Amino acid sequence: MADTAHDNVNRRDFLMVATGAVAGVGGALVLWPLITQMNPDAAVLAMASIEVDLAPIVEGQEVILKWRGNPVFVRHRTKPEIDAAKAVKLEELKDPIARNENGKDGEAASDENRVVGGKENFLVMMAVCTHLGCVPLGNSGEFAVVQGNAKTGGWFCPCHGSQYDTAGRIRKGPAPENLPVPPYKYLSDTKIQIG
């Protein structure tokens, strides 16, 4: 039995397999730099941060800033917008998770958990639709607060029709998640640092 096995696997077979294995591993090693050169380099990865002065942003105003190549919404919400967001029951949400990098993982998407330090006047979140990355339009959509002829708060994505409420939570359309809240902290009462 041992002899027949020995006859079938000879020195030449061993050399063939060994050569093939070395060539295969070598090929894979050469491939890796060719693949990973496409990843962001250290300069891009270095966490850039921006400071935002909140004082000039009046109630009902929204500014779009650029952070790490992507747009960020900073919105000074009105009282009715906050109330509308608070009135929503958690069961009605499509995505019940807060998606707030400053809170705990998997926290419920209550209005409070969507901001930092309970400061609900200022909503800071990525202006990147969680569907396919377009910038949603502010003061529009079915979940905005209607005051007379005007809509305030609420976002509508023009690309594929996703609708976000006044706390930036996905309510309707193909987007799977709430607009994510980036890491930010209050430097003073009227100044935040994003990143």
Partner 1 sequence: MSGPSKYQPTSAVGKWFHERLPIVAFAKDHALDFPTPKNLNYWYTFGGILAVMLVVQIITGIVLVMHYTPHVDMAFASVEHIMRDVNYGWMLRYLHMNGASMFFIAVYIHMFRGMYYGSYKAPREVLWMIGVIIYLVMMATAFMGYVLPWGQMSFWGAKVITNLFSAIPFVGPEITTWLWGGYSVDNPTLNRFFSLHYLLPFVLAGIVFLHIWALHVVGNNNPTGISVKSDKDTVPFHPYYTLKDGFAIVVFLIFYAAFVFYGPNYMGDAVNYVQANPLATPEHIKPEWYYLPFYAILRSINNKLLGVVAMFSSILILLFLPWLDTSRVRSGKYRPIFKLEFWVFCVVCVALGFVGAQKPNDTLSWIGFLLTLYYFAHFIIFLPLMGLLEQPKRLPNSISEDVLAHSHGKLAAAE
- Write out the residues near partner 1 by the rule CB under 8 A: 38-40, 44, 64, 66, 68-71, 127, 130-137, 157-161, 173-176
| CA distance linking residue 77 with residue 8, whole number of Å | 79
Nearer to partner 1, 103 or 195 (CB): 195
Q: How far is the CB of 6 from partner 1 (least distance, A)?
A: 43
Residue 24 in tokens: 């295969």
Q: How far is the CB of 55 from partner 1 (least distance, A)?
A: 22
- Which of 146, 163, 166, 157 lies closest to 77, judged by CA? 166
Q: How far is the CB of 89 from partner 1 (least distance, A)?
A: 21
Catalytic residue flag (residue 131): no
Nearer to partner 1, 69 or 118 (CB): 69
Instruction: Single out the catalytic residue among 6, 76, 131, 160.
Output: 160
* Angle formed at CA 161 by CA 113 and CA 165, multiple of 5 degrees: 25
- Which of 143, 134, 125, 145 lies closest to 175, judged by CA? 134
Nearer to partner 1, 22 or 44 (CB): 44
Nearer to partner 1, 120 or 177 (CB): 177
| CA distance linking residue 184 with residue 192, whole number of Å | 7
Q: How far is the CB of 137 from partner 1 (least distance, A)?
A: 8
**SS3 track for 137-173:** EECCCCCCEEECCEEECCEECCCCCCEECCCCCEEEC
Hey, which residues are catalytic here? Answer: 160
